[in-house]
């Protein structure tokens, strides 16, 4: 069964959506990406694309590092 959204959860979603993607928010809030995306849509809250820089801090961007290292060679 899905976890219900409290008023505090909704506030957190709105705050996090200013900086993070649905995937990063889902990880921070211990929810599914689909659940976060659906709730954001219901509330009219825009979400950042997955490729935003803020997400690199959350999940680490090893593929970007590899591309940069290859370019440096």
Nearest to 35 by CA among 25, 49, 50, 48: 25
pLDDT recorded at residue 73 = 53
Nearest to 3 by CA among 36, 28, 50, 42: 36
**pTM over 0.75, yes/no:** no
Note whether residue 39 is domain-resident: yes
Confidence of residue 50 (pLDDT cuts 50, 70, 90): confident
Domain assignment of residue 25, given as a range: 7-72
In degrees, to the nearest 5, what angle opens at C-alpha 47 toward C-alphas 44 and 49? Answer: 150
Distance CA 61, CA 10 (A): 28
Q: Check pLDDT > 50 for residue 4.
A: yes
Note whether residue 2 is domain-resident: no
Note whether residue 1 is domain-resident: no
Confidence of residue 14 (pLDDT cuts 50, 70, 90): very high
Average pLDDT over residues 37-42: 97
Note whether residue 55 is domain-resident: yes
């Amino acid at each position: 069964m899905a976890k219900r959204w409290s008023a505090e959860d909704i506030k957190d979603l709105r705050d996090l959506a200013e900086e993070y993607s649905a995937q990063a928010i889902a990880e921070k809030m211990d929810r599914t990406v689909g659940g976060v995306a659906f709730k954001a849509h219901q509330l009219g809250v825009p979400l950042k694309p997955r490729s935003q820089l803020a997400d690199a801090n959350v999940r680490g961007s090893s593929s970007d590092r590899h591309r940069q290292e290859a370019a440096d060679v």
